[in-house]
Structure 1
Amino acid sequence: MRSRFSLRPFIIITVILIAAMFYSLPYYVSKPGMAKELEPIINVENGQDESGSFMLTTVRMGQANIYSYLAAKLSKYQEIYPIDMIRDKKETDEEYNARQLHMMEGSKENAIETAFHKARLPVHYRYKGVYILEVVPGMPAEGKLKTGDKIFKVDGQIFDSAEKFTDYVRKKHVGDSISLTYSRDGKTRQVKMALKKFKDDPSKVGVGIGLVDDKDIITNPHVKINTDEIGGPSAGLMFSLEIYNQLTKEDLTKGYQIAGTGTISPDGIVVPIGGIEQKIIAADKAGAEIFFAPNEKGAADSNYRAAVKTAKDIGTKMKIVPVDTFDQAVRYLSKLRQKT
């Protein structure tokens, strides 16, 4: 009998500890992820080989439980973010992940466009509609539409780009209704909503959805990028460098292991990202010798300055290179001596 009662506290504590693993806190934790070579991921038809490699860098991001929260508090290179800094309060994990994957698709398109323009090769698009990237809380679309829905008709008219959709809605007024035809899980649906003013910008009206084009990019030579479940836009700069390197005869890697980060715009502007400190650690562990960091035109709190500080803290020999544009990165690599 005494034996049975002595086990009870142990069982209770065990149950509590296990339950704590599954109890989610209203925070996200980010930690160093991986640095992954891009040549196996990106294939340009009849592309050139390279002696070194370009690498994308990632962070591992997940909603915190008690243990991961405490571990992040004790770690210098893990960050804790309130949940509303990462996703809307009513946005599900599924919707958040879908938004990240759509952002990755946009990053690929921008990278291809940047690299092909630099190589003076044409790029064409085949538009198929628009995807919902986010739903604004408190607006008419909340509870009716969700991230990942594909809209292909508005008031019976076909709009093949987000820009055309926005232009159409912009001409309407508060209280006007629009009918949206969309697909979800392979099924076609229809919903009617009245337009409303946006709280953060009363001069604009809408139903409260952020859109991204659903389009195929057409190039010659063909480019295939296989990112699996990697989400977000921050690999854009490194994508564009890898694509351009395969398009041209000169090998920009010169035998070096080159990592970096930064969103890329279609015109080649490098945009800052989050988690630069964790990405420096990931790149260093992977043996990177050069790391491109968004310079933000020399801002005091730029990604580049944070990257330099982290590199110094961990004692890496990796060279941190500031860039504001894709062209700056290419110029830097063109001046490198071939590694022997």
Structure 2
Amino acid sequence: MNEPRKPLIRKRYLIVLALVLLLNVIKLPYYYSQPGIAQELNDMITVEGTNGVEEGAFMLTTVEMARATPLYYVWSLLSSYRHILPEEQVRGTDETDSDYHERQRLLMSNSQENAKIAAYEQAGAEVTYEYRGVLVTNLIEGMPASKELRTGDLITEVNGTPTHTAEELLELLEGYSKDDVVTLTVTRNEEPRSVELAFEPFPEEYEVEEGRVGLGILSPVTDRDVTFSPGVTINETDIGGPSAGLMYSLEIYNQLVDEDITHGYRIAGTGTINDEGIVGPIGGASQKVVAADKAGAKYFFAPDANGQNETNYEEAKHAAEDIGTDMQVIPVQTIEDALRFLEELPDNKEA
């Protein structure tokens, strides 16, 4: 008598399965993120002439990110460490997947270079520079630069003044008012061209102070050839963006000096770094704390940038308290802050 029910049950099962698959295929105008991994850097980085032996480990931390589907959206509601971000906070309106990944690659490449420079300068090792200009990596849709520039353009002059670094570019673009015009010399596909751009107020979502204007160039990157002695190599990785800069720098420094500054501890962290060793804020600090705790880190370095309403350090410290970890969160503003903390660490007797 029950035999006729089997096809019905099978049909319902197939409908539910198809619905689940559909909900995991539909793309929403959001990105989903969750704690990623804490990856040891010793095997990723090699400084020539050193054995790179460490009793402990320096680890970068990551956030996993993907296009949100209805399933991801619901899943994010089940944990405070899974986040949903509007698409416009992650990528430009007209930015393709290829553009986005290229921007992340450029930011990572620049971060690695800055990390090398900061470490070598701290260790007193030799660094030489040859500057080419400033690379465009991201543009604000609707602002003047988005109408004339492209990702990968190389800015070499501002009103005839040579522009060697991203910092110089930002300084040269300060002090203008609405409807002022500036002339940029730009190289695209190895051909130089002049571009005239006006200044406009930033869109409201960027929360720029009232009255400030700009061209709409985000995250410019210094393009240069840098030579290091001894040589240093960072293996290719699928990890993008600039947030591993501090941890790269600490691993490189550790291989340049004679002593092992890990003192036998597993040390994780996050933070951008510039070539002067200043540590900058990142996204996903709380999620990276979760990743570091799962990897058994004893200490976690977090940016404590001046002028922020809520620093990454405060976010990371709150997350550490929330998940009940014994891992200690350390605030840093420069690589020197991190090195001073490490200098005072006693050797780990359990290593």
TM-score for the superposition, normalised by structure 2:
0.80
2:317 is the counterpart of 1:308: yes
2: CA distance, partners of 1:256 / 1:163? 35
Q: 1:254 aligns with which of 249, 259, 263?
A: 263
SS at 2:102 equivalent: helix
Unaligned 5+ residue runs, structure 1?
none
Contact 2:126 2:230 in 1 (8 A): no
Q: Give the match for residue 327 of structure 1.
A: 336
Unaligned 5+ residue runs, structure 2?
203-209
Q: 1:276 aligns with which of 267, 280, 285?
A: 285
Shift of 1:39: 0.7
Contact 2:297 2:327 in 1 (8 A): yes
CA-based RMSD of the aligned residues comes to 3.6
Shift of 1:254: 0.9
SS at 1:195 equivalent: strand
Shift of 1:307: 1.7
Contact 2:144 2:199 in 1 (8 A): no
Change (3 A) 1:71 1:138: same
2:230 partner amino acid: P
Contact 1:32 1:282 in 2 (8 A): yes
2: CA distance, partners of 1:334 / 1:326? 12
Percent identity (aligned): 42
Q: How does 1:43-62 map to 2 (within 5 A)?
A: 43-47=46-50, 48-62=52-66
Q: How does 1:161-172 map to 2 (within 5 A)?
A: none
Q: Deviations over 1:149-169 (max 9, x none)?
A: 4567999x9976657878999
1:111 partner amino acid: A
1: CA distance, partners of 2:298 / 2:317? 14
Worse-matched range after superposition: 99-108 or 14-23: 14-23
Worse-matched range after superposition: 77-86 or 240-249: 77-86
Q: Deviations over 1:283-334 (max 9, x none)?
A: 1111111111223359773222222222222222212222222112111111
1: CA distance, partners of 2:168 / 2:328? 44
Contact 2:153 2:186 in 1 (8 A): no
Contact 1:52 1:256 in 2 (8 A): yes
2:279 partner amino acid: V
2:73 partner amino acid: Y
Q: Give the match for residue 19 of structure 1.
A: 22
Q: 2:105 aligns with which of 77, 101, 108?
A: 101
Q: Give the match for residue 276 of structure 2.
A: 267
Contact 1:57 1:260 in 2 (8 A): yes
2:348 partner amino acid: K
1: CA distance, partners of 2:167 / 2:307? 32
Shift of 1:28: 1.4
Change (3 A) 1:94 1:192: same
Structure 1 residue ranges (4+ consecutive) displaced by more than 4 angstroms after TM superposition: 5-16, 149-155, 157-170, 172-181, 188-194, 201-206, 297-300
2: CA distance, partners of 1:39 / 1:120? 21
Contact 1:110 1:265 in 2 (8 A): yes
Aligned length: 333
Q: Deviations over 1:122-155 (max 9, x none)?
A: 3222334543211232245546643234567999
